[in-house]
Structure 1
């Protein structure tokens, strides 16, 4: 039942119902009642089953799929939080047995209870996960996420750079983070249109009320501006039903606008009752007859966010309104000096071409270091030298050359290929630092090395390789290197 794959191939607008599995018979019954309708208006329905939204103890998407009484077209999510490469590979045969061959690969937001400085939690990064599955299941339909709702250049530019890697790693489509800023939706479409081989985009949408806005304050990467909250509060003050109807109308208008912009479909979130689904359909039907162009849609969308006597709504955080293509940032003198010093040191010790690097390489590849005690001594030596310099956690395979000497291990999630979607105005989702990928972006722009952030796909570090010296591996000619950009695996999506 490849409804999603067929819709994307045929360029048919599609509605994907997002389902967060919980051990509740009522939730499953509602999902099955909605999916029994098979369509939203004239658009085919599929379901996506979320993974580890609450914690690692949540019901797995595969178990949730197996709990359904009727088969339905299903897109499973796979969240990389607190998982390794082996966890992903172990799931694939179970999906084969269930006849499932569609997967949305996500790094995942912060795992509850994960705090920097405590037990490290490993996150299998989406870029690496895409490479793993694409190699193991070349014909599967694979998706990844993009969060364009960023309002500082570093975090926004880094998002798009990482999205290029996701496409190169094998993503057949991208689903956007939940958002309400239609200018950012247009920005994402324009970005995709500029890619050498554009892929379909789906938009995650939800009916927004004041109560949901309060809930979304705790969801990383979702932006609800103060002026938006003011409108929602004013609607709630009229009546609960009025606010609910306005939210449904706005959702219907948002979907129509996205369709007119060229989105391949929607990922519909927050529908927990059949009545909500029916109300959305009832709101959509007359609007679809009335609105046929973006010029007709624009004033209707503005009116849906107007509540007298409040001023016009702005969807960006106060004082921050970056747009893709704007280049204004520059690394500090200290950041650039640090980069140049580390780059010079790397060249001298690790280029494999200088006299010093040849001597050093010869020294650390002696058979002596294969013995446990000397290997541990070398590991500790590397850690004591590099940790003060770059924050090294001796992951066993150094990636500094591919990350402009900003160590991935200084990211709480250990991400090497780029940021997650959870940043807010350059601040890490964990709240205790600037996102290291914002630092890396700023540096790359300043030293003309942005291609490093798009062209080098960095594989994951396998758990059994951690906490040992990377030096002997670096100088081993047979050591694995970052993968080159891969050709598209499913050419039927390329037009």
Structure 2
């Protein structure tokens, strides 16, 4: 954890007796709009309210291009209000990320929410090329190195002055399926290992789910403050969330029916939605959350004041509000068994029962070949290495590359990246199977097991991985390890040759004296 936490937001977040309140702001399209001015007017009022510790500013929310968040952030910082800027791993490659981080550090923007980000939507002259060079776990690793000041020497450029970024991460506990939920928590473990400082949950309205997060964090010794998401939707946004048009945000059938009913009132249900948010806020405080992250379209300062004042009035009897905040799918999975007395969770884990259908012949055969040749202890490893080293620089290199690509394309949809991670990911290829090419766990956008980009058409890659692992005895270390980012210098080359020549991402694990504490198998695949 970072030593420098002197801002009011940082002081509040890490003070056990404090309940930190942040509010999410969404930059407008363009920097000279009336919407931008309204956001600044709201921020000016928030800056005078001691109940609000910071505002967070989204980066191209929903995949739509908008004003760059640091521009709005700098204007608000001048008002004396702390700013959390969303730093997504989309729309820029790793060099641009590094450059931007240096700039933000120079400008004094150092409180971040590190996320994968939404898939890009239509822009100038059609749809843009998706850029997911790094995943959020990679970005955490990059920033952690920058904070230690030891990133430069790896590239022969000399040391850099340590940065002092604070890194928040998102967690999506509102997942209907066991496979989706457990992979979310597995990714949280990786985020914690790579330097996450605090957690903000995604949007949902179920007290047991919020309790689940706190239980998991405590039981696994993560020691990270958690902010619960209290989002106040209008009917339009509630409809989008209910139908899955806003990835990761869940409004169940029962809650949506209630919101629609409330919308028939003279104020179109606004007060009812604010009171629901206030009750959730009181529950979060009672559960022991470090704070809450507020949000919602068109919220005025009067709305926020009413929300916070109402939450204070509910705080004394928050346990009685738990039954009202039970909006989850009837068949939705929980990590823990329920406790009838409180309406929350017991300490007993819920049974896990998902199994992958079929014999999974591809997986079994790939694992067999992997164990025969693609680990240093494998019986065919010495022979394979000898052959590949003998072929180096010869005319057969390209032939072997084509042979490998055709074989693995038929079996795994191989994209010929040259830095294969099949062995790390249950022999499912992230370059062809994940819209965001994620290597260390899923994004938060899947819904009912489907990829957020291809709902109903393409299963989430990590649901497939979980099913494979669960069918063969789920390893306890599912949330451990780290798969480095793809090395694009190896694109369209043979990962077999790169593996045996020590050029791929697993080379460090095979080098003498390697001692990072990370243990994982080599990954060149079958």
CA RMSD in angstroms comes to 2.8
Deviation of residue 51 (structure 1)? 0.9
Q: What's the counterpart of residue 262 of structure 1?
A: 288
Alignment of 1:21-420 (within 5 A): 21-22=27-28, 23=30, 24-38=32-46, 43-55=51-63, 57-68=65-76, 70-113=79-122, 121-122=131-132, 124-138=134-148, 139-216=164-241, 217=243, 218-239=245-266, 241=267, 243-270=269-296, 272-273=298-299, 276-298=300-322, 301=324, 315-317=327-329, 319-324=330-335, 325-335=350-360, 337-366=361-390, 368-369=392-393, 375-409=397-431, 410-420=433-443
Normalised by the length of structure 2, the TM-score is 0.81
Does the C-alpha gap of structure 1 residues 287 and 403 become closer, same or farther in structure 2, counting only changes over 3 Å? closer
Q: Secondary structure at the match of 1:204?
A: strand
The Cα offsets for residues 249-279 of structure 1, whole Å up to 9 and x where unpaired, read as: 1111111111111111222222535xx3323
Contact 2:405 2:416 (8 Å CA) reproduced: yes
Q: Distance in 2 between matches of 1:64 and 1:42?
A: 21
Superposition deviation, residue 121 in structure 1: 4.5
CA distances 1:43-102 after superposition (whole Å, capped 9, x unpaired): 332011111214464322223324546353111111122332222111111012101222
Q: Which runs of 5+ in 2 are unaligned?
A: 1-5, 149-163, 336-349, 510-515, 519-526
In 2 relative to 1, CA 61–141 (structure 1 residues): closer, same or farther, beyond 3 Å?
Answer: same
CA distance in 1, matches of 2:238, 2:492: 43
* Structure 2 CA distance for partners of 1:41 and 1:296, relative to 1, 3 Å: farther
Aligned partner of residue 359 in structure 2, secondary structure = helix
Structure 1 gaps, min length 5: 303-313, 487-495
Aligned residues: 465
Matching of residue 421 in structure 1 with residue 444 in structure 2: yes
Q: Which has the higher relative contact order, 1 or 2, with Cα contacts under 8 A spaced 6 or more apart?
A: 1
Secondary structure of the 1:455 match is: coil
Q: TM-score scaled to structure 1, two decimals?
A: 0.86
Moved >6 Å (runs of 4+) = none
- Indicate conservation of the 8 Å contact 2:401/2:493, yes or no: yes
Q: Do 1:418 and 1:453's aligned partners in 2 also have CA atoms closer than 8 Å?
A: no
Q: Which deviations, in whole Å up to 9, do the C-alpha atoms of 1:97-120 show, x marking residues without a partner? A: 101222211111222159xxx966
